[in-house]
Structure 1
Amino acid sequence: MSGCSMSPMYGENSGSSAVMKNIDIVQVRNREHQIIRNELLKYIDGNTSSTKKTLELDFNVDVSRSGLIFTSTGEAQRMQIDVEVTYGIFRITEFRELIYSDKVRVINTYTLSKSEYNNAQADISTFNLISKEIASNINRQISLNYLNLVE
């Protein structure tokens, strides 16, 4: 049986890996920003912290929560979390030049219970899942547009 050679579109051999190693992600602004930043950092090679990075990823996070499927008493049975991240990649020279910008939106829901603790845990877990998807989508967009990002 013969094998075939394949280059992964989003893996270590993809264009996103080369670009992501060269991107510095801005410092956190709040809890949601920190969680998404941590997920994005997973796509960056950890051994490049000492190198001077020429690109910077800056992003804003907009989170909204709303109840869904209401009972006759007006109590929500599900909660929807809608997260929209607007981001830009800047080339850092003597100036900060925007070279790419885009928006990612991910929506997910969870079932509400009578327990506030369970609801809080479900909210945290759902937001973490959303954050992973957002980071994956941003990495994918960088991979698809990496020729525009490299000099």
Structure 2
Amino acid sequence: MLFLHFRIGDDCFALAAESILEIVPLVPLKKVRQAPDAVAGSFEYRGRYVPVIDLCALDVHRSARRRMSTRIIVVRHPHDEAGLIGLIAENVTEMLRLDPAQFAPFAPGPHGLVQRVELKDLLPAALPALVASR
């Protein structure tokens, strides 16, 4: 199975490629007033505005580092199939081909151990209503 390898802080994660619509560069974002710190903003994607969550801000309480390898992963909203959401992650540069059974809960990756993560588990339960997009 194919997975996208990325980092949140010092930890490595793998997200199933089938969950991903597109990976785009870290573009300028429009700030959303009074949104939680993890909501980095919104950007126009194929004619619609998509909210963007900074996974580093969410998990390690700092913004993702602005580097060439920091990207926005565009996915279908895990709690609203019609909605889209962007996820900012670091070191979004490699794909892994692994058997899902290898994750117990970690698998060997290119830079150490990698933990598999499901899309629905990346966002806390309170955020879906704040980042609903249509």
Q: If the TM-score is normalised by the length of the shorter chain, which range does it land in?
A: under 0.3
Whichever structure has more helix as a proportion of its residues is: 1
Whichever structure has more strand as a proportion of its residues is: 2
Normalising by structure 1, what TM-score? Answer: 0.25
Higher relative contact order at CA 8 Å, sep ≥6: structure 1 or structure 2?
2
Normalising by structure 2, what TM-score? Answer: 0.27
